Structure 1
């Protein structure tokens, strides 16, 4: 098997041209204003046409598009063709998606991260579908000698109802390829959508269920070798010496090589290299201080008091507001490191040849993998190819290229095609964690309960700016100061689903509940008053949409029947991230004397919902991820080494602990915004605020289960 994706770009086009041609449209990913162009299939097959992507309609009625963004479970391979099919009035059963390989000349933003793929491509894809439909209609009008205005389209066919004539798109494809593309194209109105907004099965479902090769771990190349890497067992250590004599003598072992701070065992099977790795005798020496979790707690508290802070935003006279305050509310919140825990551990294939480099594997940033491989080998980037496989989870972990770098090093050293595979223990202890953070909040209230002052200081590890200084309540408070302090740690960190906001939202929204209580106000009403203040008298620049924040807040209150359920303790949270707005109400009931999170009601404004079932999955998954890690996730360290190395030690939420998640989307006709991440940030606070209502004990640190307040109530 040469490839996960059986059809490469060039091979696909050769096959398509050989089957009798059809309609090929090249369209531009980097310029949404540019309409597609009709291109010659023979020229495409010969590689003589420079185009950004393509939409093709074959004479067999099959409609195909390339999907450039890596698929990590966010459903992009389904959403992209749905957008095209909607404008095209295609028969969905005849639409196919091909995963595109890395091509920075053809694609813009070929990355999965930041929940930005659909917002970026929405208009481009609509225009591609609408242009194809226009050409088909014009070709039918010409063949039948009737006005185009009399022709309708539906499910891959064109109709002339007056005469009763109809043709399939495949029958018209070649004629359509000879029609000129218009200068402007009319797109559908939302009220006319028939596919967008419906529930559509993921295009990869069948292959996943039947075990077809899709993922990086599935990739196999005849004659390739396997490698496992031994990395330092503690952050802050460096390699001193390696005795690999015993390992090299073991069955199936081809070589043991060292590079940077790692040792790679290379052989003919994963089991053989795993056993040989255990036979290595390695000495390390200390390069940096070996930090423990107790050190982190001490460092955070010290930096909150005395750290050199960078001011991120300042409005008004903060010092005067707190000096004259009737009441001051102060609280600190802290979260631990977290591993990403994708179901598929890290893996990558590399073949460093004399004429270039071939990379194959699951990556959220294929261009980063290519550029790193180019640095290692000395080849120009255009000599490095990257084939993107489907990914068994990423959550930000696969934004890093470390495992692709390892594969490139090993292949170069052993002069053979190599697949590097991480074990689950490697994956959990290998770093790039969600950074640990501590926040201190202060709020100044006047006699009427108005918040006249607000301060936030964030201390993060390797996180740059651990705040989002322009998010709510910025703009709603006259006197505001947000600053941050960074601690450089040898423990490697990186983006974790909804970077920064995954914990910041919990802390901010929990603290606002504390302030609302001190002001003697209902939590939702307190926030609505702040929104009204920001709308009428904004303080500084406001970078969130107040009306959309208000809309999801009111919708969540309505759908949860806020404050009116007997025996149900409700907690509220609302947050803006990745262009979308999500409000949540957590509901806790007391069972046998213990508080239990039973339900989460989510109100979501992500603009137009493309695939309803996929969108529901993203929201429900985000809520479960947010609640689960807030309650249970805890990565601790002793002398630089992780205390947890597998799921028997690292606690994830269990099926019986998952609450019901009731999702409601705001239908406002706005172009789609992100959805892979925005449902996670508000989840922890909705749960924590509900637990407080039930127990009158604040949960200021994650995970909740490690808090004395939680232990005493459960």
Structure 2
């Protein structure tokens, strides 16, 4: 597999969209975004045919192009940020098209919501663990459609029934006569065949690629350094800039003395904006030295005294008032009145930064009537739209090249980095690459929201929950990012993992109170809503088991008669973890169970708590039912990655504010899990023929409550506020 990287020289750029795109073609593409594939994209006015030419080859749809050599080019509507998308999705195409995986080459899709929107989101974005969920049927249909058209073309050439022909290894074969033609030889004829609307997809028992452990196709170029990330792009004449933004959100530049900065060798320019200053130089070293030499006086504005405690207090207060009802089953108040035991608790989760390995960056060449952008982003059409607004140009005058992403975690669903780069580039006569320092990245993130939950439950005489009530408060990212998705005071992200639980709860009531913190921008963070809700619900289930004096696994299992898939992953994780076996003093096991992002997962965490309260995560056992496992290698890697990411948050992750400023600056104060702290991780994937569920974020949301519950098992201390605080866990 190769990836067609966007070229850095404007003169050699080649559009992926046809110049003669007709209105009829565009309308057919637009109609497809709701749940299908863009077929007959290049549609002559009189015939329903695909497109063929010596230059382009055979294009049966907006996703696939096959050239005269039989090479398959996949226009990839999703982005690769380490999750394996650029291996798993080509597997879907290759499976149905009957070609080997090395015949599939990738091209980044240009920004175009009509052609390349995620069918589950309605926008062109990679997130919410749904690239595979969104691609599963459309991508297979794309491959199958192309295959059937090629078969039909060969059958016509041989004057035989298409049903007597088959595709295999990039060829169409007629077994009775032994005739065969390569796809390359058939592209011209296939383009003149009618596009078949209802194509038969392969059955699971005939898969040759799907379900097989395939090595990542993008690994070689990442190892040898030829892979192109956003930060690698260097158009001719590019300058490098770094920036300082107001240390208080909402603050402004009051005064600026740039004389010393301009005296630094290699510094070319200082750009002043309302709330930021950038130093433009020949290289990053000079830009950073110039920044250090700047004399900036900030006007902190109205949020200069804001502290984390103020935000937590307001969220606590917000949970005292009714919110929007996210789910109601039965009559909680009546059931609570007959409860033998009542359990109440409140939980808090902090702001969290993303801190991806590749720092925020964007390269922009701003010209009088055109703006060209190079970036790695999860929502490229959003970048184009917001950059156009910042540039004061029509959207079609903003050309955006997307690239590999060195860590997204939701941070690169945002376009603020591109907007900031455009604002700077408007004052620079050459292309300029704006690179954020790690300090700017951490102190000017769009953070995982701060959350406050207030729960109560009632148990019967056998300890079973007969009533469950949860009211929680925090900001809604969806309300800002995709306003139509916020309806009646609710959005699906904020409530996922808090409602539609796998447990049999006869009386169940959940309310959400939208409460936006002053000035602090919030955004999607890996596993987003479930990263909050699964911690709360699975910690609280453990509290109910403790109140009932029952084993946490057995307690959960008794509530799963209506969810056999959840029970199966719980049983498997407990078995593989050796649940119930003896552990040394100071050690404990904790369990979590979830159904989020369309996948079932159970995790068992094993921790050791030292006398000084420090926690060592020793082992994690994970059982997963994610539907059809497309690439088990990718699934295992995703779970491992998610567990490490979530464990970092559980043990160390916290963004705090004092005097309006984020206190954390770099990895010394925003700590990551180190390699010597990484646990042994076992992943067990259950066989299934259900459609695939999401994978990218599931491990992150499941591990935090498993760790918290394990700490309780080891110490008897219940953590209702994360991260784990060694001061609370010290023992004599």
Which residue of 2 is the match for residue 339 of structure 1?
353
What is the rounded CA distance, in whole Å, between the counterparts of 1:427 and 1:589 in structure 2?
33
- Find out whether 1:70 has 2:99 as its counterpart: no
2:570 alignment counterpart: 553
Matches within 5 A, 1:534-549: 535=562, 546-549=563-566
Q: 1:181 to 1:375 in 2, by over 3 A?
A: closer
Matched with 2:689 is: 669
- Please state if 1:658 is matched with 2:678: yes
Q: Following TM superposition, by how much is the alpha carbon of 1:348 offset from its aligned partner in structure 2, in angstroms?
A: 0.5
1:356 and 2:373 are equivalent in the alignment: no
**CA offsets 1:303-355 (integer angstroms, 9 cap, x no match):** 45x56755444444434443443211122222222210100000011222222
Conserved in 2, the CA contact under 8 Å of 1:213 and 1:219? Answer: no
Superposition deviation, residue 566 in structure 1: 6.4
Task: Kindly state the Cα deviation for residue 491 of structure 1 after the two structures are TM-superposed.
Answer: 2.5
> Corresponding residue for 1:108?
117
Change (3 A) 1:9 1:523: farther
Q: Could you tell me how far 1:368 is from its partner in structure 2?
A: 1.9
Q: In the superposition, relative to structure 1, how do residues 158 and 435 fare at CA in structure 2: closer, same or farther (>3 Å)?
A: same
Against the structure 1 CA distance between its residues 143 and 495, is the aligned structure 2 distance closer, same or farther, given a 3 Å change threshold? same
Cα displacement string for residues 471-511 of structure 1 (whole angstroms, at most 9, x for unaligned residues): 32787231534343625222222111111211321121011
Which has the larger displacement, 318-327 or 558-567?
558-567
Instruction: Supply the distance in 2 between the matched residues of 1:672 and 1:566 (Cα, whole angstroms).
Output: 36
Which one of the candidate residues 29, 33, 36 is aligned to 1:30? 33
2:50 touches 2:194 (CA, 8 Å); kept in 1? no
Report the equivalent of 1:603.
Answer: 623
Q: Deviation at 1:153?
A: 3.2
Structure 1 segment 169-180 matched on structure 2, within 5 A: 169-180=183-194
Shift of 1:517: 1.7
Q: Which secondary structure does the structure 1 equivalent of 2:559 belong to?
A: helix
Distance 1:637 1:589 in 2: 31
The reply on whether 1:193 has 2:210 as its aligned counterpart is: no
Aligned 8 A contact 1:52 1:107 in 2: no
Counterpart of 1:640 in structure 2 is 660
Q: CA deviation at 1:697?
A: 2.4
> Are 1:95 and 2:104 counterparts?
yes
Match of 1:132 among 146, 154, 171: 146
| Aligned CA distance change for structure 1 residues 576 and 473 (closer, same or farther; 3 Å) | closer
SS at match of 2:154: helix
- Per mean C-alpha deviation after superposition, the further-off stretch among 209-218 and 445-454 is 445-454
Q: Is the 2:6–2:403 contact (alpha carbons within 8 Å) kept by the matching residues of 1?
A: no
Q: Deviations over 1:79-137 (max 9, x none)?
A: 22110100111022222111122123422232111112222222221112112222333
What RMSD, in angstroms, separates the aligned Cα atoms of the two structures? Answer: 3.2
Pick aligned residue for 1:54 from 63, 75, 81: 63
Q: TM-score, normalised to structure 2's length?
A: 0.86
Which segments of 5 or more consecutive residues in structure 2 lack a partner in the other structure? 20-28, 41-48, 119-123, 480-489
Tell me the residue number matched to 1:581: 600
Over residues 53-92 of structure 1, what are the superposed CA-to-partner deviations in whole Å (9 max), with x where a residue is unaligned? 2312223231111101222222222222110100111022
SS in 2 for 1:158: strand
- CA distance in 2 between partners of 1:456 and 1:322 (Å): 13
Task: Check 1:435–1:383 CA distance in 2 against 1; reply closer, same or farther (3 A cut).
Answer: same
Show the 5 A alignment for 1:141-540: 141-235=155-249, 237-289=251-303, 290-304=305-319, 306=320, 309-460=323-474, 467-468=495-496, 469-472=498-501, 476-484=505-513, 486-532=515-561, 535=562
Kept in 2, the 8 Å contact 1:140–1:158? The answer is: yes
Compared CA separation, residues 233 and 86, structure 1 to 2 (3 A) = same
**Pair 1:10-2:27 in alignment:** no
Greater CA drift, 243-252 or 155-164: 155-164
Q: Structure 1's 357 and 35: CA in aligned 2 closer, same or farther, altered over 3 A?
A: closer
When residues 310 and 414 of structure 1 are mapped into structure 2, their CA distance, relative to the original with a 3 A threshold, is same
Give the Cα–Cα distance (whole angstroms) in 2 for the partners of residues 454 and 239 of structure 1: 50
1:230–1:186 distance in 2 versus 1, CA, 3 Å: same
CA distance in 1, matches of 2:177, 2:400: 52
> 2:521 and 2:39 mapped to 1: Cα distance?
44
CA distance in 2, matches of 1:117, 1:11: 21
Task: Show CA shifts across 1:176-200 (max 9, x none).
Answer: 3343333431110011101011122
Q: Any stretches of 5+ residues in structure 1 without a counterpart?
A: 15-25, 536-545
The partner residue of 2:579 within 554, 557, 562 is: 562
Note the C-alpha offset of 1:699. 2.4
Matches of 1:279 and 1:423, distance apart in 2: 16
Task: State whether residues 608 and 671 of structure 1, in contact with CA within 8 Å, keep that contact through their aligned partners in structure 2.
Answer: yes
Are the structure 2 counterparts of residues 419 and 159 from structure 1 closer, same or farther at C-alpha, using a change threshold of 3 Å?
same
Cα distance in structure 2, aligned partners of 1:35 and 1:382: 21
What is the rounded CA distance, in whole Å, between the counterparts of 1:27 and 1:65 in structure 2?
19
The 1:588/1:241 distance shift into structure 2, 3 A limit, reads closer
Tell me the equivalent position of 2:590: 571
Query: How far off is 1:632 after superposition?
Result: 1.8
Residues in 2 aligned to 1:153 and 1:368: alpha-carbon distance in whole angstroms:
39
Distance 1:707 1:322 in 2: 35
Greater alpha carbon shift after TM alignment, 121-130 vs 324-333: 324-333
Bigger Cα displacement from structure 2, 665-674 vs 646-655: 665-674
Question: CA 1:245/1:475 → structure 2, altered by over 3 Å: closer, same or farther?
Answer: farther
Secondary structure of 1:371 counterpart:
helix
Taking structure 1 as reference, are residues 293 and 583 closer, same or farther at Cα in structure 2, changes over 3 Å only?
A: same
Higher mean Cα deviation, 249-258 or 67-76?
249-258
Structure 1: distance between partners of 2:130 and 2:528: 14
Give the equivalent residue in structure 1 for 2:648: 628
Contact 1:309 1:484 in 2 (8 A): yes
Report the CA distance between 1:168 and its aligned residue.
Answer: 3.1
Q: How many angstroms does 1:292 deviate by? A: 2.6
Comparing 141-150 and 273-282, the one that deviates more:
141-150
Alignment partner of 2:721: what SS? coil
1:254-281 deviation line (CA, Å, top 9, x unaligned): 3222223111222322222211111221
Alignment partner, residue 729 of structure 2: 710
Deviation readout 1:641-692 (Å, 9 max, x if unpaired): 2222111222111112222222222322112222111221111111222232
Distance 2:394 2:458 in 1: 57
**Shift of residue 445, structure 1, vs aligned partner:** 1.4
- SS of alignment partner, residue 427 of structure 2: helix
2-structure distance, mates of 1:491, 1:359: 27
Change (3 A) 1:528 1:359: same
User: Is the 8 Å Cα contact of residues 363 and 398 (structure 1) preserved in structure 2?
Assistant: yes
Return the TM-score normalized by structure 1. 0.88
User: Is the alpha carbon distance of 1:660 and 1:672 closer, same or farther for their aligned partners in structure 2, counting shifts above 3 Å?
Assistant: same
The CA distance in 2 between the partners of 1:479 and 1:604, in whole Å, is 26
Separation in 2, partners of 1:205, 1:693 = 40
Structure 1 Cα separation of the partners of residues 378 and 730 of structure 2: 39
Length, aligned pairs only: 687
The Cα of 1:4 is off from its aligned counterpart by 5.8
Contact kept, 8 Å, 1:29 with 1:108, in 2: the verdict is no
